[in-house]
Structure 1
């Protein structure tokens, strides 16, 4: 059954002919997970872009947050003249962008103009590569990403002009599961649920979260690539909807040191011939599952340090990993235990592994690619998971911690033989340069914390 809001090419043609659709957005994500692309006249899109694709400057996979071209990449640089790459619409992702007037949206794959193959450095390419390996073994993967965000009464422009220092949360007490407090923000949240549902992103529920002004809106699980596409549409919809309403949302992993972090918990299960491959009779402490489940879980946990940059990609990401804060700080697994980095939930066909490490700032293509690559490696190596942990993992000082900083995580990524095998040496080199640039920019920046601490009293 077709998901509401998704379009076939014939349906798009009819909507263009009737005037219901005037604009088509062609988009992909950069390394930060930001949606990049162009808006096309709908008729021109049908005449030209559907068959021929479109182009964009390849510097978009080499820029920093401020869109400055960063030197030092082999992929694109001044010496090569910053040419184009080819954007090819994946027509399976064609959908109505319900929150915008008379607009459709399609996610594109990034191809090289020279080789006519997928650009391996593009985030969606990395995930596609892991799914291809999975399918070669006869498996499919289902995934869900649970995004949390903070909602503020300030509009984006005024927030920027005050240096994000005078933000007013959309709530004045902790509202986790509170229906009344949720009602106060329902004008925004109801609109988000409605527009997502009508834009090919089926919604399950929304609720107030534990932080002041924090919320969670959950969408239905899907095949892993489709889930990543839903994730980026979700974020774009909520940010643009907030902007139109004169308010703002943030998907920072840690907006404020005194507030809870925002996560993107990742749920994964593997499937074969329409059945959940994780279901079985092997005993893993309190969990009964298949041997494949055990191998996948063990690999996913083992290689967290190697791929941590894909779960926690910014300087800010690591401020979230605080004991007793609902964010995991140590690598262990448990059954339905929210202090664990890996939480086992569901039964029967719904049995799945939840990784609670990624933050809301993650790029879903990279996060899911890292997760699948780690699990597949565990299956290949036939790894066995450690004993199921019971109790408060925050208090288990003997367990290994997640990396503490982006600098540490980049070093582990750079040295890892596993990531080079999984993604290729050129891809690893590319992303190492990307994350090292982020670290370098942070190390030379002077923060408000430093001014407050040292201006008068040093």
Structure 2
């Protein structure tokens, strides 16, 4: 019997949209006919492995062992996950399906972000825990098109609204058509939101995606970023998920919320009503694991050069290896209020992350703490986390962070040598592109006076 639902076979569009996430979390894909889809739904399809051999601007890596000119960029087998089928409401209900690299001898699955998260998730379930996650995003919106942005050379762009209007009902009503489109169409796309509001900054929105088991949560987060951009474009708006758009404005976060439940998903194992702060021993070990691992896996939650422009003091993003209960200046914010809502918020994560890798990093680090029975000996931060540097600070830039991860035995233990080698090579490439670029800052500083 065909794996393809009858409604897809009968869909008047006559096509299906397929996608796979690359190392940066960018969705790469294609449309296929219904006839073609009936075959690939069962057997998968070949997709050029260059999607793991080039950067987000389609420039081929010169340091990739897995694929490159030396391999001829062959196809890799992509297996579709039929559980991810949904309709695209802003494309007249065209069917959409996510996939990932099938397990094969060529080893593509070792570097596929979605496959990596599957691997970490399986380890979690085998340990008796059900992981529930969610990601929230902040992003800037501009009344621009790709063409006008290019014409303006990415300068003097018109924000959707002016001024600093965090949580503003006034500003959210200004482009209520956009707010309404996001809330309703994302829900129809099976990316339900718990909340949507303006954040501080011109044209900044923040959305919290509904909690779900980790694979669903990651799929939703990946689809959210692309969906927001597509919905925005229909209304003459361009959305950006850069971590830091301007040195004078706050950065954009992609905080990951997480909790572990028992195997039948009825009890939140992070909550202990007998403890004064309601944090269980399991949650404490999970937090200890993240504090231990974060410095060695930071590129997975801060993957771009721009990520580190956000991680500066006094800009609503953490800079130190700290934790506390309900404190927005620390790296790890514990929220143990209730039996169902008790969770950890990892605040290092920016909006520019690949959700599959960010969630894999958070979960693997937390499980490391549980597996190794790490004790949360570090006391919670009182007051500002920016000044509490005695427990360590985060690496200052992508080059430094990548060098640490590349040499880390811990990173290789968590994610495997093949993934670490490929991923750090891609981050080295990203750093090299930045290092050779001449910036506007350099011209303004040196052009006349030096």
- Give SS of 1:264's match: coil
> For 1:439 and 1:118, how far apart are their aligned partners in 2?
24
2:207 counterpart of 1:217: yes
* 8 Å Cα contact 1:23/1:102 also seen in 2: no
> For 1:321 and 1:374, how far apart are their aligned partners in 2?
20
> For 2:250 and 2:226, how far apart are their aligned partners in 1?
23
Q: 1:39 aligns with which of 31, 52, 73?
A: 31
Match of 2:132 in 1: 142
Could you tell me how far 1:270 is from its partner in structure 2?
Answer: 0.4
> For 2:389 and 2:367, how far apart are their aligned partners in 1?
29
Match of 1:13 in 2: 6
In the TM superposition, 1:222-237 aligns within 5 A as: 222-237=212-227
> For 1:281 and 1:172, how far apart are their aligned partners in 2?
45
Match of 2:401 in 1: 409
Match of 2:69 in 1: 78
Q: 1:27 aligns with which of 13, 19, 33?
A: 19
Q: 1:383 aligns with which of 350, 374, 378?
A: 374
CA-atom RMSD in angstroms: 1.7
Match of 1:348 in 2: 339
Q: More deviation in 64-73 or 351-360?
A: 64-73
> For 2:428 and 2:348, how far apart are their aligned partners in 1?
21
- Give SS of 1:348's match: coil
Match of 1:3 in 2: none
Q: 1:53 aligns with which of 44, 50, 57?
A: 44
Could you tell me how far 1:38 is from its partner in structure 2?
Answer: 1.2
* 8 Å Cα contact 1:118/1:125 also seen in 2: no
* 8 Å Cα contact 2:8/2:34 also seen in 1: no
2:446 counterpart of 1:454: yes
> For 1:62 and 1:135, how far apart are their aligned partners in 2?
31
The answer for unaligned runs of 5 or more in structure 1 is 1-7
Could you tell me how far 1:216 is from its partner in structure 2?
Answer: 0.6
Q: Do the aligned partners of residues 240 and 18 (structure 1) sit closer, same or farther apart at CA in structure 2, a change above 3 Å counting?
A: closer
Q: 2:286 aligns with which of 290, 296, 299?
A: 296
Match of 1:5 in 2: none
2:353 counterpart of 1:362: yes
* 8 Å Cα contact 1:111/1:119 also seen in 2: yes
- Give SS of 1:119's match: helix
Q: How many residues align?
A: 445
Match of 2:433 in 1: 441
Deviations 1:381-435 (A, max 9, x none): 1111111122121233434221110011101101211111111112111111110
- Give SS of 2:122's match: helix
Could you tell me how far 1:23 is from its partner in structure 2?
Answer: 2.5
Could you tell me how far 1:228 is from its partner in structure 2?
Answer: 0.7
Deviations 1:19-59 (A, max 9, x none): 2x43211111111110001111234312x111121111111
In the TM superposition, 1:25-424 aligns within 5 A as: 25-46=17-38, 48-111=39-102, 114=105, 119-272=109-262, 273-274=264-265, 275-281=267-273, 283=275, 287-345=277-335, 346-385=337-376, 386-424=378-416
